[in-house]
Structure 1
């Protein structure tokens, strides 16, 4: 016998915390804390990947009582201080995933930053100059990180956390010229081999809020600027409720 409970996820990306953000995000995170059981942060947590920015973000998150799971974004790598950023955020309980998996409240989470490269037949191939091969290899390595994390999960409900988009549908609305830099369908491949309940990503500030993989997994673009513009009447985070089976106490 099992008792079915619902876990509420609040997901947002692209908070872009700067040195002047102190006090500006605390009430927003407090709203997420009240609305959900787990907070998911989908990259570009900081604006320049600076430890000073990470410390301010940590202070803004310090009063959150629910678990926080995150992945980094391209902005968090800008200054080459991503490891320090992760350490600072960990002091307030943020679990940053980079090819790892974790389980919280009976839900499994697999996370990776992801990378660029384009979609479908227009995806960049590993041919020609070495720099192009290296670019494609980075996308492949990030896809392998996601696949490795997904393979570790044994929960019924599984969530994939990314910064870059695995599908074209959620970047639509951005200029066509930058589609290849917003994500790649190489990130979709692991989701076909290890299906999940839902995928969350950020990065595409002017994209579309939701789409589906080819095997009908819902994908949510939770870039904060997009959610702010699309849903002006509510806080800019995405709430998803999922059922989780818990054993009944004897």
Structure 2
């Protein structure tokens, strides 16, 4: 169906994660970005933009994005860090309409978007604590830092734009329910409940993440914040031929 502005003035948000662009993907994503542009007002890319974090993969994505005529907000994922070329990726994406979020926010119409990559650590009563070897403490501290960055971004958004709805971008999951289906043994590496706390505290409307390729499309935090796992494989498993989720806010 063709894109139509909502009579209620709501913003149409398209979201997908884990597109894993390869350096041989020239032309593969052009139609995708054209369709998203026709149906949404903003596109959210929830990490793993590239397959192995190579500069050549980012260059392909930058070229494909020329077909996208709406704003694009994104966070990086673990695959984007794999090649240890994050600064190069950032410079490439800075030449496009794609804006990376990492503890900051962007306002588009009636919605404020805040984003961080997030990290692992486990969920609920199985969340890892700050105890034991330094390596374990460093693992936990990384998630704490990401949660604090997210909370700070949402706090600043509240301070400067208290009338706006708030939407969060993540790569790692903030709740367990949207990664269920993945082996329980790897849940600590798929996300962390520490990322849920800012969503509840700051009255977020919705949050999107990827990373878990065999999870559930939708869940809710303890206070009812809607959370969507928009990993490309999850969307395809749920019948989305063109893999993006559309939400009006």
Fold-level similarity (TM above 0.5):
yes
Q: CA RMSD in A?
A: 1.1
Equivalence for 1:55: 59
Residue 145 of structure 1, CA deviation:
0.9
Q: 1:40 aligns with which of 39, 44, 50?
A: 44
Q: 2:136 aligns with which of 123, 126, 132?
A: 132
Matched residue of 2:90: which SS?
Answer: helix
How far apart in 1 are the matches of 2:73 and 2:99?
Answer: 5
Equivalence for 2:4: none
Equivalence for 2:184: 176
Equivalence for 2:108: 104
More strand by share: 1
Give CA-to-partner distance per residue, 1:118-139, whole Å, 9 cap, x none: 0011011110100000000000
Q: 1:216 aligns with which of 220, 224, 231?
A: 224
Equivalence for 1:72: 76
Residue 4 of structure 1, CA deviation:
4.5
Equivalence for 1:231: 239
Matched residue of 1:62: which SS?
Answer: helix
Residue 10 of structure 1, CA deviation:
0.3
- Whether 2:97 is the aligned partner of 1:93: answer yes
Matched residue of 2:10: which SS?
Answer: strand
How far apart in 2 are the matches of 1:225 and 1:89?
Answer: 24
TM-score (norm 1): 0.93
Greater RCO structure (CA 8 Å; 6+ sep)? 1
Residue 230 of structure 1, CA deviation:
1.3
Residue 191 of structure 1, CA deviation:
1.1
Equivalence for 1:246: none
Residue 25 of structure 1, CA deviation:
1.3
Residue 156 of structure 1, CA deviation:
2.2
Residue 180 of structure 1, CA deviation:
0.7
Equivalence for 2:174: 166
The count of residues paired between Structure 1 and Structure 2 equals 239
- Whether 2:205 is the aligned partner of 1:201: answer no
How far apart in 2 are the matches of 1:181 and 1:195?
Answer: 26
Equivalence for 1:191: 199
Extract structure 1 runs of 4+ deviating beyond 4 A. Answer: none
How far apart in 2 are the matches of 1:4 and 1:229?
Answer: 31
For structure 2, the residue ranges without an aligned partner over 5 or more in a row are 1-6
TM-score (norm 2): 0.94
Give CA-to-partner distance per residue, 1:52-102, whole Å, 9 cap, x none: 100000111112110110000010011111121122112111110000011
8 A contact 2:143–2:194 mirrored in 1: yes
Q: 1:118 aligns with which of 122, 133, 140?
A: 122
- Whether 2:27 is the aligned partner of 1:19: answer no
